[in-house]
A and B are shown apart, each in its own frame.
Chain A
Amino acid sequence: MFSGNFNNQLIKKMKLKHMKQLARNSSSILLGLALIGCGSNNTSQTANQNSSSSKTMIQNAGSDTMVNLAQAWAENYAKVNSEVSIEVSGGGSGTGIAALINGTTDIANCSRAMKAAEQQKAKDASGKDPKEHIMGYDALAVYVHKDCPLEELSLEQLAEIYGENGTITKWSELGITIPGCTSDEIIRVSRQSSSGTFAYFREAVLGEERDYKLGSRDMHGSKEVVELVQNTPCAIGYSGMGYATPEVKMLKISKTLGAEAYAPNVENTIAKTYPIARPLFVYSLGEPEGALKNYVDWCLGPEGQRIVNDSGYVSLTN
């Protein structure tokens, strides 16, 4: 009896102690939460303009198609003007445009044109209209494995392969068999949805109103598309013509079935006979000034355009 009472008292005491500890702990938690809550509403950083240090930094984000080109420009410009350092990153044209709107980049590389809605957002965010500069042209090549016997495709066939509710799903429907591809399935290799290449292909081949068929392998860079097609006999993919390797074949494309098909190369891009050719853009907020203006002018000048040609694209001066 006595021990029962004693035990009850002990239990009550321990419960009280636990409650006190709980109260102390929860008050510390609440304090901490209040500090976090009062903390930040995430404001976007401002772009890295002329800092007080001796080197000026220019941020250059955006298209994966243009990332090698932008890197080559940056490296060569550093030899011309060592005061300016240019930081290049990829992520896709959509990423570059988002960065321009958010203010985290100075210029954005895009392999597609900026949409009206995006231009409006940029204007609202910064007060300046985005200025478009055309730096060169690129032909979007359709790649297949080098063992694939197919030579040409029409835009309609491409739309049926890649588009939503498209009817072509097997290589035998195109009348060919590929050695090494036993399942006969057309494996579509595409790009991630932030890619300008993705958006441009949709606009040029599928039409703006149509979406891609689900189930395509969405790679993250122009080079990755070619590498996957290289390793996969059943695959078909699209990427910039500058990324071609000897292990893949570029198809000739015709505007309609039966019309003349053109290969993706410099002449056909200039002559505008290759149906899937596009300009390569660089966007800045308003007219570029100072170091940025010098850089953009240099890229549009003979040195920069020579680099465009060397990287596998078509320069403006042609």
Chain B
Amino acid sequence: MQYQRGRWSRVIEFLIEWLIRISGISAILFVFGIFFFVFKEGAGFLVTKWKPIEFFTSVEWYPTSLSNKRYGILAIIAGSASVTLLAMMIAIPFSLGAAVFISEFCAPKLKEVLKVLIEFLAAIPSVVWGFIGLMIMNPLIIKIFNAPIGLNVLNGGIILALMSIPIIVSISEDALKAVPDSYREAAIALGVTKWQMIYRVLIPAAKNGLLAGGLLGVGRSIGETMAVLLATGHAVQIPNGPLDSVRTLTATIAAELGETEQGADHWQVLFIIGIFLFSITFVINLIAYLVVKGIRIQAGDS
């Protein structure tokens, strides 16, 4: 006799399947929803009065001027880029070293402790990081580097690096763990030292995952708002060096959105900056995803 599922259980299964499907798709819905919302708010200015060349190449940001409103975000883009670049220059070597240590050299007990401690770094709220930058790093930087002011690219870069390290470490460590043991054993069987095995065999094999981790760290840094609002000095200028104050795209939106009336030109320009930011992070995450996908095809082939 064939076993027939009852009608009720079939209905329930159907419903649950659709529920799970909708939950899964909701992520896509939210992303599209946010994109449409941001685009809708900025669309008016975008199609009528926006001058893209001036917007992206002028350093003059005077949205509240009474006589001469100018919307040029080059200096602010330079601010975001410089802080992110410095943060990655600091974070990536440290994260890579930490990931290699945790994956290859660590005793199992120490590994668990280290992983938990690194996750603690991720748990610190970003406004607390900003506060650390403002109150602790500010006088430190003035004293050590003899800088005129301690709220600058260096300050923001260090804080962002500390915030990105947990993400990069956990993804890199996963990437290193995913390299099959046969690679390691084959290399050691051929007589190389452990360090040679790591930088000649392991890291090239895991490079897609490491790159993806780095890109996600970049995405995190570009999108960070509160910490850089407090720690970079919030000055509209192209930095001449790491000791200059800058302003980031995110901080500009956070600082100025409250003062504008809905629908005013300034409001719409801020949303255009939001669209720009959204596109950058979207592209970075897309590249990271494609790069990670590269690993799976590679691993499948071998």
Residues of A whose CB lies within 8 Å of any CB of B are 24-25, 28-29, 32-33, 36-37, 42, 44, 91-92, 94-95, 98, 101-102, 121, 181-183, 185, 187, 192-194, 198-199, 202, 208-211, 214-220, 228, 231-232, 234-235
CA distance A216 to B61 in the complex (A): 12
Describe A's contact surface by its main secondary structure. mixed
Known A42-B262, A91-B258, A208-B66: A25·B149 in contact at CB below 8 Å: no
> Who on chain A is nearest to B32 by CB?
A33
User: Could you give, for residues 225-239 of chain B, a 1 whenever the CB lies within 8 Å of some chain A CB and a 0 otherwise?
Assistant: 000010001111100
Query: A211–B148 contact, CB under 8 A?
Result: no
Q: Which listed residue (A95, A181, A214) contacts B259, Cβ 8 A?
A: A95
Closest approach, in angstroms, between the C-beta of B267 and any C-beta of chain A? 9
B125 at the interface (CB under 8 A from A): no
> Who on chain A is nearest to B60 by CB?
A214
Query: A194–B61 contact, CB under 8 A?
Result: no
CA distance A121 to B28 in the complex (A): 38
Closest approach, in angstroms, between the C-beta of A6 and any C-beta of chain B? 22
Cβ contacts under 8 Å, B229 to chain A: 220
Closest approach, in angstroms, between the C-beta of B92 and any C-beta of chain A? 29
Query: A121–B142 contact, CB under 8 A?
Result: no
Query: A101–B261 contact, CB under 8 A?
Result: yes
Q: Which listed residue (B66, B146, B256) contacts A192, Cβ 8 A?
A: B256
Closest approach, in angstroms, between the C-beta of B239 and any C-beta of chain A? 10
Cβ contacts under 8 Å, B247 to chain A: 218
Chain B interface bracket (under 10, 10 to 19, 20 to 34, 35 or more): 35 or more
> Who on chain A is nearest to B75 by CB?
A214
Closest approach, in angstroms, between the C-beta of A97 and any C-beta of chain B? 8
Chain B residues numbered 131-166 whose CB sits less than 8 Å from any CB in chain A? 138-139, 142, 146-151
> Who on chain A is nearest to B72 by CB?
A214
Cβ contacts under 8 Å, A94 to chain B: 64, 258-260
CA distance A28 to B60 in the complex (A): 45
Closest approach, in angstroms, between the C-beta of A248 and any C-beta of chain B? 15
Q: Which listed residue (B63, B67, B139, B236) contacts A231, Cβ 8 A?
A: B139
Query: A102–B149 contact, CB under 8 A?
Result: no
User: Could you give, for residues 62-75 of chain B, a 1 whenever the CB lies within 8 Å of some chain A CB and a 0 otherwise?
Assistant: 11111110000001
Q: Which listed residue (A33, A92, A183) contacts B258, Cβ 8 A?
A: A92
A-B contact pairs, 28 of them (CB 8 A): A36-B29, A37-B36, A42-B262, A94-B259, A94-B260, A101-B261, A102-B262, A183-B148, A192-B255, A193-B259, A198-B64, A209-B67, A214-B59, A214-B60, A214-B61, A214-B237, A215-B235, A215-B236, A215-B237, A215-B245, A217-B151, A217-B234, A218-B234, A218-B247, A220-B229, A220-B255, A231-B150, A234-B149
Nearest 7 pairs of A and B residues by beta carbon: A194-B259, A94-B259, A215-B237, A32-B29, A95-B258, A193-B64, A234-B148
Query: A218–B139 contact, CB under 8 A?
Result: no
Cβ contacts under 8 Å, B196 to chain A: none
Known A211-B68, A232-B148: A29·B25 in contact at CB below 8 Å: yes
Closest approach, in angstroms, between the C-beta of B244 and any C-beta of chain A? 8
Cβ contacts under 8 Å, B237 to chain A: 214-215
> Who on chain A is nearest to B66 by CB?
A208
Query: A181–B61 contact, CB under 8 A?
Result: no
> Who on chain B is nearest to A183 by CB?
B148
Query: B21–A121 contact, CB under 8 A?
Result: no
> Who on chain B is nearest to A92 by CB?
B259
Known A32-B29, A37-B36: A217·B256 in contact at CB below 8 Å: no
B26 at the interface (CB under 8 A from A): yes
Closest approach, in angstroms, between the C-beta of A96 and any C-beta of chain B? 9
CA distance A194 to B33 in the complex (A): 29
B15 at the interface (CB under 8 A from A): no
Closest approach, in angstroms, between the C-beta of B39 and any C-beta of chain A? 12
CA distance A33 to B25 in the complex (A): 11
Q: Which listed residue (B25, B64, B67, B68) contacts A32, Cβ 8 A?
A: B25
Interface centre among A28, A36, A215, A234 (most CB of B within 10 A): A215
B186 at the interface (CB under 8 A from A): no
User: Could you give, for residues 44-72 of chain B, a 1 whenever the CB lies within 8 Å of some chain A CB and a 0 otherwise?
Assistant: 00000000000000011111111110000
Cβ contacts under 8 Å, B188 to chain A: none
B290 at the interface (CB under 8 A from A): no
Cβ contacts under 8 Å, B261 to chain A: 98, 101-102, 121
Query: A29–B245 contact, CB under 8 A?
Result: no
Closest approach, in angstroms, between the C-beta of A261 and any C-beta of chain B? 26
Known A98-B261, A214-B59, A220-B255: A181·B32 in contact at CB below 8 Å: no
> Who on chain B is nearest to A181 by CB?
B148
Closest approach, in angstroms, between the C-beta of A168 and any C-beta of chain B? 16
Known A33-B29, A215-B236, A234-B148: A28·B22 in contact at CB below 8 Å: yes
